[in-house]
């Protein structure tokens, strides 16, 4: 038995104990799960879900599943991700704040979903902890898309703040540039390989900036922007890589044509993820807003500059939104932490929203429209 499991077993409260959600999150944070190495935490969560009454299993790619509730009526899927970015953040509690890699992004959300599902009666709930969200390809969500029947509605587990709901995410495309050329003397007027790579990165950024010249904020939802992630080289060989965040409706093909117009270069694209957004009237958005308002606060609606598994699963064309506790500004930082009070509030919100959402989905259908997922 692993050391983290021995420690967790010694301190574990009963499943119905009020301290259980905090314990579960603490234990999950203690199991490292960098993308590609999620199996230990998947197995741990499968065991915990089984103890809470969910039918649980780990699928072929490592996603952990838990199902509960009657098989009749609409199914609500709660899908978060269990992988994290690299980097250690010691698991420690300071007052109400619980620190650890993944506390915000996004083990806090998956724990919220598990605990809310276990509290919900009369609703078919399918909880999934997906792998590979933090790396290009979203392997876990793509496997779900290909192998699981579409549910009636979907909540994506991402930090929106316990009193917020995320309606949409920008899309993404990653562009790599490589060039090799005969060595030149440093006195030559011809650009060196590394100068060509630097110029390429600048031109991509200017191309995207020119698509929204009236907006100066690169994180604004309707604005496309590129971040230079990597640049290295010398006189003869060089490489650059940019991660581009783009709004719904972005013309990926035009950007690729622009990138590939550079002579003597090799261009690669790692993925094309369209942006997605939902209206305020989406049933999932509406019921989460109502459940937050029932806690005595005004819900905040957000659209984010990053991407999530909501982008991957948008082709289902079902009601969906993202929800989870935590401050997204702490994602991937060395200060990643979550207030435990927010964890408990988020569980209350989701547990209240689930039966209301299922009731609305079971009513005569109304036109809500598919997610505004657009790609040229």
> Which of the listed residues 273, 297, 330 is the one where a domain comes to its end?
273
Q: Are residues 118 and 57 in the same domain?
A: yes
* Span 61-112, pLDDT tens digits: 999 999 999 998 899 999 999 999 999 999 999 999 999 999 999 999 999 9
Instruction: Give the other-Cβ count within 10 Å of 358's Cβ.
Output: 23
Residue 147 falls inside a structural domain: yes
Q: Which of 83, 309, 331, 336 is catalytic?
A: 83
Burial class (CB in 10 A: 0-12, 13-18, 19+), 73: middle
Residue 295 falls inside a structural domain: yes
> Which of the listed residues 273, 292, 322 is the one where a domain comes to its end?
273
pLDDT higher than 60, residue 15: yes
Q: Are residues 325 and 267 in the same domain?
A: no
> Which of the listed residues 220, 245, 273 is the one where a domain comes to its end?
273
336 is catalytic: no
Cα angle, residue 19 at apex, residues 165 and 66 outer, rounded to 5°: 60
Q: Are residues 117 and 194 in the same domain?
A: no
Please, what is the angle between helix 39-51 and helix 108-119, to 10°? 20
Please identify which residue in the block is written with the tokens 């939104």: 321
Q: Are residues 161 and 87 in the same domain?
A: yes
Classified as helix, coil or strand, 227 is strand
Across 347-353, average pLDDT: 98
Residue 22 falls inside a structural domain: yes
Classified as helix, coil or strand, 341 is helix
* Span 52-73, pLDDT tens digits: 999 999 999 999 999 999 998 8
Q: What is the sign, positive or negative, of the torsion defined by CA atoms of 129, 131, 136, 142?
A: negative
Q: What is the per-residue pLDDT for 241?
A: 98
- Cα atoms in the Cβ-side hemisphere of radius 13 Å centred on 129: 35
Residue 369 falls inside a structural domain: no
pTM for the full predicted model:
0.89
Residue 54 CA to residue 239 CA, distance in Å, equals: 49
Residue 370 falls inside a structural domain: no
Residue 368 falls inside a structural domain: no
Q: Are residues 135 and 31 in the same domain?
A: yes
133 is catalytic: yes
Q: Are residues 120 and 203 in the same domain?
A: no
Domain containing residue 134: CATH number: 3.40.630.10
* Span 300-348, pLDDT tens digits: 999 999 999 999 999 999 999 999 999 999 999 999 999 999 999 999 9
Residue 367 falls inside a structural domain: no
Q: Are residues 111 and 54 in the same domain?
A: yes
Instruction: Provide CB contacts within 8 A for 87, sequence distance 6+.
Output: 101, 332, 334
Q: What is the per-residue pLDDT for 376?
A: 33
* Number of compact structural domains in the chain: 2
Q: Are residues 55 and 100 in the same domain?
A: yes
Residue 196 falls inside a structural domain: yes
Q: Which of 38, 105, 133, 158 is catalytic?
A: 133
Q: Are residues 129 and 23 in the same domain?
A: yes
Structural domain including 251 reads 171-273
Mean per-residue pLDDT over the chain, rounded: 92
Q: Are residues 19 and 127 in the same domain?
A: yes
Q: Are residues 292 and 265 in the same domain?
A: no
Q: Are residues 165 and 175 in the same domain?
A: no
Instruction: Provide CB contacts within 8 A for 29, sequence distance 6+.
Output: 91, 98, 100, 101, 102, 103, 107
Q: What is the per-residue pLDDT for 220?
A: 87
Domain containing residue 205: CATH number: 3.30.70.360
């Amino acid at each position: 038995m692993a050391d983290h499991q021995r420690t967790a077993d010694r301190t574990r409260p009963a499943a119905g104990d009020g301290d259980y959600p905090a314990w579960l999150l603490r234990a999950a944070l203690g199991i490292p799960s960098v993308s590609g190495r999620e199996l230990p935490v998947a197995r741990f969560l499968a065991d915990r879900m089984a103890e809470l009454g969910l039918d649980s299993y780990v699928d072929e790619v490592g996603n952990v599943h838990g199902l509960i509730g009657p098989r009749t009526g609409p199914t609500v899927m709660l899908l978060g991700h269990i992988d994290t970015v690299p980097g250690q953040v010691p698991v420690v509690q300071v007052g109400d704040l619980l620190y650890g890699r993944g506390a915000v992004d996004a083990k806090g959300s998956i724990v919220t979903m598990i605990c809310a599902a276990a509290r919900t009666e009369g609703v078919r709930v399918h909880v999934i902890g997906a792998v590979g969200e933090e790396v290009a390809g979203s392997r876990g969500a793509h496997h779900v898309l290909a192998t699981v029947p579409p549910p009636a509605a979907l909540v994506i587990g991402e930090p929106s703040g316990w009193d917020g709901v995320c309606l949409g995410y920008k899309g993404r495309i990653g562009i790599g540039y490589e060039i090799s050329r005969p060595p030149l003397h440093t006195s030559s007027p011809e650009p060196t390989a590394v100068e060509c790579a630097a110029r390429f990165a600048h031109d991509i950024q200017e191309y995207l900036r020119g698509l929204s010249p009236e907006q100066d904020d690169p994180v604004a939802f309707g604005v496309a922007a590129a971040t230079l992630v990597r640049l290295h080289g010398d006189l003869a060989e060089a490489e650059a890589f940019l991660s581009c965040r783009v709004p719904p409706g972005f013309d990926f093909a035009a950007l690729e044509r622009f990138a590939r117009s550079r002579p003597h270069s090799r261009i690669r694209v790692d993925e094309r993820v369209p942006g997605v957004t939902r209206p305020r009237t989406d049933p999932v958005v509406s019921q989460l807003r109502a459940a937050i308002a029932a806690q005595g606060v005004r819900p905040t609606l957000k659209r984010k500059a990053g991407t999530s598994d909501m982008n991957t699963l948008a082709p289902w064309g079902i009601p969906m939104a993202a929800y989870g506790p935590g401050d997204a500004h702490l994602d991937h930082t060395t200060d990643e932490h979550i207030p435990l009070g927010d964890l408990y509030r988020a569980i209350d919100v989701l547990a209240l929203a689930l039966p209301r959402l299922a009731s609305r989905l079971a009513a005569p259908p109304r036109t809500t429209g598919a997610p505004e997922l657009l790609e040229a």
